[in-house]
Chains A and B, each alone.
Chain A
Amino acid sequence: MKSKVITILWPLAFGIALILAWQFGLFHKVLDLKPFQLPVPSEIASTLAANLPKALKDCGVTISGALVGMIIGSLMGFMIAAIATFFPKWGYGGMIVVTALNAVPIVALSPIMNLWFSTGMEQKIAVVTVVCMAAMAINGYSGLNNINPYSIDLMHSVAASEWTIFKKLRFPNSLPYIFTASKINIASSIIAAIISEYFAASTSGLGFGIKDNLRKAEMAMGWSYIVVASLAGVILYCVILLVERDALKWHASQK
């Protein structure tokens, strides 16, 4: 119990020290910045408070797009991994294609998706889908195939079908890997959604807010959006951690 408190207290103290140093101008002094270049936390907070409904609405737009894209992308990625598992000889090539797709930078992906889809939301979901697919496919494939050979022998000894092996052995075995991929995808989906909004045919979302305000010298407002984006990411990450803790009680990493 005591160690748990320490685990939270130390980073918290560090964070507070950081914010105080920022608030009282330490960074400004060291980096020779003016408050209008780098707004102080209190200004960011008051700006955010004054524009909270708009910021939350934009946050909702971005996060919903990121989540939908992440779910679709993860499902597709896992399906590819499953197909590659069932048809090892030919399926593995699909994995390589997905990996190659992953190497296409988001900034190039967004305009392509802009051509394919007409609304900002569709484009955003498409970009996030592609970005999330690869991590899930690669991790899922590892999870479905990094299996103790004796476990498979045991399954064969009771004449289990490939499908049964998948259901009873491969899938549960892949769960920790799926969560690893999900944790990666949370971060990348939000970032992908934000970047896609830089190019999207829409005037809502955190990405549009960040870019528009930073251009127009509304630094405090821009930072408010950054804070909201980061907070949303951290909260979603924690949600995944909680789900993982409940779903993987049996796994060594949870002890």
Chain B
Amino acid sequence: MKKSKFTSLLAVIILILLVATGCSSGNSAATTTGTGTSGADKTTSGKLDKVTLQLKWLPQSQFMGYYVAQAKGYYKDAGIDIEILPGGSDIIPEQQVYNGVANIGVTWDSSLMKYQSKGWGLVQVGQIFQKSAMLLVSKASSGINSPKDLKGKKVGSWFGGNEYEIYALLEANGLNKDTDLKMVQQDYTMNQLLKDEIDATSAMTYNEYGLLLESGLKESDLHVLNMNDAGVAMLEDCLFVNSDWIAKNEDLYVRFLKASIKGWAEACANPEAAGKVVFDVDQSVSLAHQVYMAKEVAKLVVPKDFDPAKIGYMDMAAIQQTADLALKYGLLSKPAVISENTFTSKYWTKATAK
């Protein structure tokens, strides 16, 4: 009796300690988020402006520009106390930004158009990726050498808005997405392709394609359909904000964009270092994979023949193509409105002005 009383007392004490540590760790997480590692602490006196950035996915080199800018203290130099929120399968950046959980979000253009068309007051204010990273990858053995060969195959997508480039690719090649082949939901690993449960899988150049290579397959074992080559590319990672917020915080956003561009430029110039910076934030994947990703992402942000000074540039023709494809393949029910109120490059112009 006495002994069990003692152990239970111990258990209660442990429980209380756990709660206490939980609370304190919560606090410390909040305070350490904005740490700049380099000593660039020459901010003007006065408080930093708090800015929260909502990523579309987990912390990884896909977002290396922001992490580099954070690590090098570029945001701090711009008078910004940045907090970077990781995404996840249940995190929808458009909703987070509209609700005010975050000030600025990263999402794909087509997805943003959808929200805008439903009445959400969001505006696109910068285009980070100039190219589509979406691939359809199959094993060379399955003989899918052109989009037409997808007929009768099982094709994976993540859905939730990620399926429209594939729809466009199919239709451009005279295939019906419902009758000519089977579309299935794929998870966030490449296991279904490796296990031959699907014939072709969606893959991002910078992430999943790398996973396939890391799993032991060689480039020669794989066949790739690239959306850019097929002329059905839709724009991906862009920056957007709530229209009400930007009306009051124009200067703050321009400062943010300027610092971010600086971070991106540095990251793209030295992806190895950028991969390391991201790895220091989150060690869930190997350093090698982060570096691989950083190199691939650099190709999307600064494609061949693209002036690095123009990072974040909004190519209205590419945005229009994204809108047209989204309308044609059913994501949008009416044409996207592309105007100063929905897609505006004026902040980018200010941020890049000498």
Q: How far is the CB of B92 from chain A (nearest CB, A)?
A: 6
A216 contacts B331, CB within 8 Å? Answer: yes
Q: Scan residues 154-187 of chain B and give those whose CB is less than 8 A from a CB of chain A.
A: 156, 159-161, 183-187
> Which of A34, A203, A219 touches B185 (beta carbons < 8 Å)?
A203
Asked if B329 CB lies within 8 Å of chain A CBs, one says no
B187 contacts A203, CB within 8 Å? Answer: no
Question: Size band of the A side of the interface?
Answer: 20 to 34
A212 contacts B159, CB within 8 Å? Answer: yes
> Which of B117, B118, B187 touches A201 (beta carbons < 8 Å)?
B187
User: Which of the listed residues A34, A37, A216, A217 has the most CB atoms from chain B within 10 Å of its own CB?
Assistant: A217
A217 contacts B185, CB within 8 Å? Answer: no
A7 to B343, CA, bound (A): 56
User: Which of the listed residues A115, A199, A216 has the most CB atoms from chain B within 10 Å of its own CB?
Assistant: A216
Asked if A42 CB lies within 8 Å of chain B CBs, one says no
A36 contacts B120, CB within 8 Å? Answer: yes
B160 contacts A198, CB within 8 Å? Answer: no
> Which of B160, B184, B186 touches A211 (beta carbons < 8 Å)?
B160
Q: How far is the CB of A54 from chain B (nearest CB, A)?
A: 13
Q: Map CB proximity to A onto B117-148 as digits: 1 under 8 Å, 0 otherwise.
A: 11110000000000000000000000000000
A207 to B174, CA, bound (A): 31
> Which of B159, B191, B331 touches A115 (beta carbons < 8 Å)?
B191
A114 to B185, CA, bound (A): 12
Q: A34-B119, A214-B92 are in contact. Are A201 and B198 (CB under 8 A)?
A: yes
Asked if B197 CB lies within 8 Å of chain A CBs, one says yes
Asked if A202 CB lies within 8 Å of chain B CBs, one says yes
A111 to B92, CA, bound (A): 21
Question: Which residue of A has the minimal Cβ distance to B110?
Answer: A216
Question: Which residue of A has the minimal Cβ distance to B185?
Answer: A203
Q: How far is the CB of B279 from chain A (nearest CB, A)?
A: 24
A212 to B195, CA, bound (A): 25
Residues of B within 8 A of A208 (CB): 159, 185
Q: A203-B183, A203-B184, A208-B185 are in contact. Are A217 and B115 (CB under 8 A)?
A: yes
Asked if A118 CB lies within 8 Å of chain B CBs, one says yes
Residues of B within 8 A of A202 (CB): 184-185
Question: Which residue of A has the minimal Cβ distance to B95?
Answer: A37
Q: How far is the CB of A16 from chain B (nearest CB, A)?
A: 28
Asked if A215 CB lies within 8 Å of chain B CBs, one says yes
A216 contacts B187, CB within 8 Å? Answer: no
Q: Which residues of A contact B (CB under 8 A)?
A: 34, 36-37, 111, 114-115, 118, 120, 198-203, 208, 211-212, 214-217, 219
Additional pairs, 19, CB under 8 Å, beyond known A37-B95, A118-B197, A200-B185: A36-B120, A111-B187, A120-B184, A120-B185, A198-B89, A201-B184, A201-B185, A201-B192, A201-B198, A203-B159, A203-B183, A203-B185, A208-B159, A214-B92, A215-B160, A216-B160, A216-B161, A217-B118, A217-B120
- Interface pairs (29), CB distance under 8 Å: A36-B118, A36-B120, A37-B95, A37-B99, A111-B189, A114-B187, A118-B195, A120-B185, A198-B89, A200-B185, A201-B156, A201-B185, A202-B184, A202-B185, A203-B159, A203-B184, A203-B185, A208-B159, A208-B185, A211-B89, A211-B160, A212-B159, A214-B92, A215-B92, A215-B111, A215-B160, A216-B160, A216-B161, A217-B94
